[in-house]
């Protein structure tokens, strides 16, 4: 036995303990690496594989493929970004699908609406050109009158389609000026005066305080009111009443058209502003193109407003537009625009 006096040299300690220390360090390193691989990198690797599988499924067309995004590390952040991208792409794909479906339906509706007058015109024209048929002059004139009516109907449909395309596509420029509501109501009455008189339908107008003026394009606003009034007149029975009113609701000006008809069936209310949508056969029989309410919606939305419909003793259409600043004294809150009243005023 040899006892060293003082501190042993470092070299001697290393020589004696190096093999043991190396063995222990190597064992710890191996065990630690295994544990880290199992408990740290293992779950991360599985999540990366799940993210890869979701990416492959999504690329193959499965829009519902999503990756687990639990946790707060970089893999979870990457998974959340992937899922967000998947949601956005799925929404866009759904919107495109709906748009394509609407486009196909629109093409079918347009084809049907255009073919109806064309077919009638062709049939009567072929009849008139048959030399072997000896048609009476009265019958010939009636056929020509029908062809003329169908021609005008075809022009209305095409004109409405062009109008709707321009409005929904943002084409054209809308003027912005103060428009007297009373003058709009007067022009609506003048346009339908003959039918109002023939059917003894009363057209009344109520303009509330502060609702004397609306901001917008006078021609387009009149077009919207004309369409609403024409729609109301088609569904109002003889000796009935149509009421046009204007009032202020919050920071909006409300233009309302109410008729005394049977109202709109509740199941049709969400669809009446769709192109070519007809709640019944009367609209077609009355010569409606099925585009009037769609044009109203497009005009109102171009003005930054909204339009809705409900039933309240008949059909009620509400147009909400930005209100103009109140100017001048209020007009009479109650006035009638029936032809009888106009004649008495003129007298």
Query: Average pLDDT in the 126-145 region?
Result: 84
Per-residue pLDDT at 185: 93
Residue 131: pLDDT band (50, 70, 90) is confident
Q: Which of 3-17, 80-94, 148-162, 275-289 has the lowest mean pLDDT?
A: 275-289
Q: How confident is the model at residue 38 (pLDDT cuts 50, 70, 90)?
A: low
Q: Is the pLDDT of residue 286 over 60?
A: no
Which of the four pLDDT bands, split at 50, 70 and 90, describes residue 50? Answer: confident
Phi, psi of 32 (to 5 degrees): -65, -40
Neighbours of 218 (CB within 10 A): 16
Q: Are 208 and 256 in contact (CB under 8 A)?
A: no
Name the pLDDT band for 31 (thresholds 50, 70, 90).
Answer: confident
The answer on pLDDT for 320 being more than 90 is yes
Flag whether the pTM goes above 0.75: no
Which position has the token pair 């069936």? 265
CB half-sphere exposure, 103, CA atoms < 13 A: 6
Question: Average pLDDT in the 67-85 region?
Answer: 83
Q: What residue ranges in the chain does DSSP mark as E strands?
A: 177-180, 202-207, 213-216, 241-249, 252-259, 306-311, 315-322, 335-336
Q: What mean pLDDT is reported for the chain?
A: 79
Contact between residue 339 and residue 196 where contact means Cβ atoms under 8 Å apart: yes
| Strand partners for 233 | none
Tell me the longest C-alpha to C-alpha distance in the chain.
148
Q: Are 261 and 240 in contact (CB under 8 A)?
A: yes
Spatial separation of the C-alpha atoms in residues 70 and 232, rounded to whole Å: 58
In this structure, what token pair is assigned to residue 240?
A: 């009935």
Q: Could you give the C-alpha distances from 302 to 77, 220, 254, in angstroms and in order?
A: 41, 10, 16
Task: Say if residues 220 and 326 touch (Cβ distance below 8 Å).
Answer: no
Please check the confidence at residue 246 and state whether its pLDDT lies above 90: yes
Using CB atoms within 10 A of its CB, is residue 279 exposed (0-12), middle (13-18) or buried (19+)? middle
293/279 Cα distance (integer angstroms): 12
Task: Name the percent of the chain lying above pLDDT 90.
Answer: 18
The owner of tokens 């305080």 is: 209
Residue 169 has pLDDT above 80, yes or no: no
Query: Mapping DSSP to helix (H, G, I), strand (E, B) and coil, where does residue 333 land?
Result: coil
Kindly provide the residue ranges of all beta strands, DSSP E only, lying in 69-208, ordered along the sequence: 177-180, 202-207
Range name among 36-40, 71-75, 117-121, 187-191 with the lowest pLDDT average:
36-40
164 contacts 291 by C-beta, under 8 angstroms: yes
pLDDT of residue 181: 92
Q: Using DSSP bridges, classify how beta strands 202-207 and 213-216 pair: parallel, antiparallel or unpaired.
A: unpaired
pLDDT band at residue 40 under the 50/70/90 scheme? low
């Amino acid at each position: 036995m040899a006892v060293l006096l003082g501190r042993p040299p470092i070299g001697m300690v290393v020589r004696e303990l190096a093999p043991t220390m190396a063995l222990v360090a190597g064992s710890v390193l191996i065990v630690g690496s295994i544990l880290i691989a199992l408990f740290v990198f293992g779950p991360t690797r599985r999540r990366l594989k799940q993210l890869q599988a979701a990416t492959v499924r999504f690329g193959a067309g499965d829009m519902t493929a999503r990756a687990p995004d639990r946790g707060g590390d970089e893999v979870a952040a990457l998974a959340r970004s992937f899922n967000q991208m998947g949601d956005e792409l799925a929404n866009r794909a759904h919107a495109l699908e709906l748009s394509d479906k609407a486009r196909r339906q629109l093409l079918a509706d347009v084809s049907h609406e255009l073919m109806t007058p064309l077919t009638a015109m062709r049939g009567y024209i072929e009849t008139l050109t048959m030399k072997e048929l000896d048609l009476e002059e009265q019958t010939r004139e009636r056929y020509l009158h029908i062809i003329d009516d169908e021609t005008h109907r075809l022009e209305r449909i095409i004109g409405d389609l062009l109008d709707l395309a321009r409005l929904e596509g943002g084409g054209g420029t809308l003027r912005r000026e103060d428009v007297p509501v009373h003058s709009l109501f007067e022009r609506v009455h003048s346009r339908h005066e003959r039918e109002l008189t023939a059917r003894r339908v009363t057209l009344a107008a109520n303009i509330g305080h502060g609702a004397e003026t609306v901001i917008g394009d006078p021609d387009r606003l009149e077009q919207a009111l004309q369409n609403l009034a024409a729609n109301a007149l088609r569904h109002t029975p003889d000796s009935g009443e149509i009421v046009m009113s204007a009032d202020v609701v919050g920071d909006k000006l409300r233009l309302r058209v109410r008729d005394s008809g049977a109202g709109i069936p509740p199941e049709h209310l969400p669809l009446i502003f769709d192109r070519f949508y007809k709640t019944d056969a009367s609209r077609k029989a009355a010569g409606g193109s099925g585009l009037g309410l769609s044009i109203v919606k497009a005009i109102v939305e171009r003005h930054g407003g909204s339009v809705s419909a409900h039933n309240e003793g008949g059909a009620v259409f509400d147009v909400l537009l930005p209100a103009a600043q109140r100017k001048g004294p209020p007009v009479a809150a109650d006035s009638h625009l029936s032809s009888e009243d106009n004649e008495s005023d003129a007298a």
